[in-house]
Every structure is written in structure tokens, then in C-alpha cells.
Amino acid sequence: LTHLELADCQLGWFSQQSCIAVAELVEKLPELQHVDLSFNFLNSAEAMRVLGQSLERHEAIQTLLLSAASGGGRQELAYNNTGTASVSFHPMQLMFESLAFNISLKELDVSSCGLGPDCWFVLEDAIATHPALENLYVQQNPIGEVGFRSIARALARPEKFAPENKLAKADLGHTSGAAIPEELGALVFQYADPTGTYHDVDLSTPYGRAFLRSLCRRAD
């Protein structure tokens, strides 16, 4: 099986178990090249985590279509060392983080998924080491200035900081403005000059981990 077409199948409408089952199935189909899960309800962190793990281990998949497949917004909570919730984030950030370990994906469509500025920074971090991704579709998301800068850097990344980056196209049609989430405070990566003292890097979140990796990459 090389193509898996499950768009608009109501996956996740009643339970996220169907989304998790499909995410697990992706890894079990080693010849799979094209996956379309658009217009479903992959709104849980577990579904996105499992999908990310499948992508990490898959060496043939080239196209992943998730348009309007995860529009639930910021739901997943990260917890600090006291066991209390520290920050929420969009579940798709977990899948973005796993893309750094995938070697085959060439096209990714995450349009209309309610992805805010912090999501694009996590994706930018993954793209920096991705050897194959060429086309990115992000239409109708609240990207904002910070998100736009992340995508622009991914497109024009200096070879020194991202020698494997192949991204050549990003469709930003009908995107809108949005501020960095309030709970992240002043933790916005300053690409031109990241010099500073950082006290609030929460490594329990994909954004915090991407922030630290970006700092280390600039230090190198």
C-alpha cells in the first residue's frame, strides 16, 4: 500500500482512539508514500505524539496532508516539577518536533489547523535538520509576525545553521495576525542577536525545547 486516503472520515469525532490507531498504522505500512488525514479531528496530544513517532521511523512517506485535521487550538498542558500545569500548547507541536528525525517527507499541508506563532517556531527548528522537506502549506492559520519570521527563516536559512534544509516553497495564503501566547511571556527567539539571560525556558513543552536547541545551534 502506497497511498492512504482517509480525508473527511470523521476520525476523532467520538473518540481519539481511531486517530491513534491510524497514526500507528502509518508505521506498519513501510511502502506508504502518501497520507491524507485532512478534515478529521486529530485533536489530542496522544494522537499527534504517535503520528510523530510513526514519522520518525518511516523512510518512504513523502506527502502528509493534515488540512483542517487538528483545529482544536491550544489544549495540551505541560506540567512543571511540582505537578502543576505550567503552559498549554497546540498538540500538533509534538508532531512537528518529531519531523526532525524523519528523512523522507517532501510535502506537508497543515493549513486551517489553528496553529499560532509558537507552533511555527517549533516547526522551524525541525526543518533546520530535515533533509527532504520542500513544500509547506500553511494557509488560514493565525501565524502572526513571529510565525511569519520563523517560516521566512526556514526558507532563507543560512547554510551555516541548517546545511540539510531543502525547503523551497511555503504557501501562506489567507493567514492572519496573532501574538505570541501570553504564558510564554518574553521568551521569543531573537535570531539576529540571541544574547541574554533566560530564566523561563520550560523544557516540558515543544516550544521550550525548540528554543534551547536554537540557542545551542547559534552557539555552534
pLDDT at 79: 47
110 or 76, which is more confident: 110
Give yes or no for residue 89 having a pLDDT over 70. yes
Contacts of 218 (CB under 8 A, 6+ apart): 161, 191, 194
Q: Shortest CA distance to 136 belongs to which of 66, 72, 205, 74?
A: 66
52 or 146, which is more confident: 52
pLDDT band at 181; cut points 50, 70, 90 = low
Q: Shortest CA distance to 77 belongs to which of 202, 200, 189, 214?
A: 202
Average pLDDT over residues 145-153: 88
Give yes or no for residue 109 having a pLDDT over 50. yes
Contact, 33 vs 62, CB < 8 A?
yes
Per residue in 40-82, pLDDT (tens digit) is 999 999 999 999 999 999 999 999 999 999 865 555 555 455 5
pLDDT at 76: 52
DSSP assignment letter at 132: S
Lowest mean pLDDT among 21-35, 63-77, 180-194: 180-194
57: part of which helix (H) or strand (E)? Answer: helix 45-57
Q: Report the range out of 79-93, 134-148, 183-197, 206-220 with the highest average pLDDT.
A: 134-148
168 or 56, which is more confident: 56
In whole angstroms, what separates CA 132 from the centre of its chain?
A: 16
pLDDT at 77: 53
